[in-house]
Amino acid sequence: MIAQELPWYTGEDTGMEPGELHKAGLKATSARLRILEILREEQEHHLSAEDIYRRLLDAGDEVGLATVYRVLTQFEAAGLVARHNFATGHSVFELDSGCHHDHMVCMETGQVVEFLSDEIERLQREVAAAHGYELVDHSLVLYVRPRKDS
């Protein structure tokens, strides 16, 4: 049973209504599990719905693109995945690990790089505090291209 390999994938944690799971039936449930698996195993971490759809096709899974979109939207609502709308085109999705990080996106290759800078984090808190605020959350995306001199 695949679900047992996903300790955080329980009916309660997903926030999905039991009725909805029921209505979706076995095929939709296996689609959900497969999409979770793909997001978990993917080295790139950040996948568009089309990327996921292509991987399902390659693996011989009969899941339509509309289903992939629907499942991703459900996962997002349930807090299982984070959606990023980078300015490069399609939304990309990653498992929401609960660990904060920022992203940079290569404008030439579309490669998404995760990073975390304690200094940037601290500066953001300081800037918010200087304006009389407490930092609650932030998202930071750097749009980059490969250095020509490296």
Instruction: Give contact residues for Zn ion (rule: CB under 5 A).
Output: 94, 114
Least spacing, CB of residue 84 vs Zn ion, in Å: 7
Q: Whose CA is closest to 69, among 22, 35, 46, 108?
A: 35
Q: Parallel, antiparallel, or unpaired for β 81-84 and 92-95?
A: antiparallel
DSSP 40-67: HH-TT--B-HHHHHHHHHHTT----HHH
- The distance of closest approach from Cβ of residue 97 to Zn ion in the complex, given in angstroms and rounded to an integer, is 8
**Cβ closer to Zn ion: 68 or 105?**
105
Q: 69 or 86, CB closer to Zn ion?
A: 86
Residue with smaller CB distance to Zn ion, 27 or 138: 138
Q: How far is the CB of 107 from Zn ion (least distance, A)?
A: 17
CB of residue 105 to Zn ion, shortest distance in Å: 11
> Which lies closer to Zn ion via its Cβ, residue 51 or residue 94?
94
Q: Name, in order, each residue with C-beta under 8 angstroms of 49's C-beta and a sequence gap of 6 or more.
A: 65, 68, 69, 72, 90, 91, 93
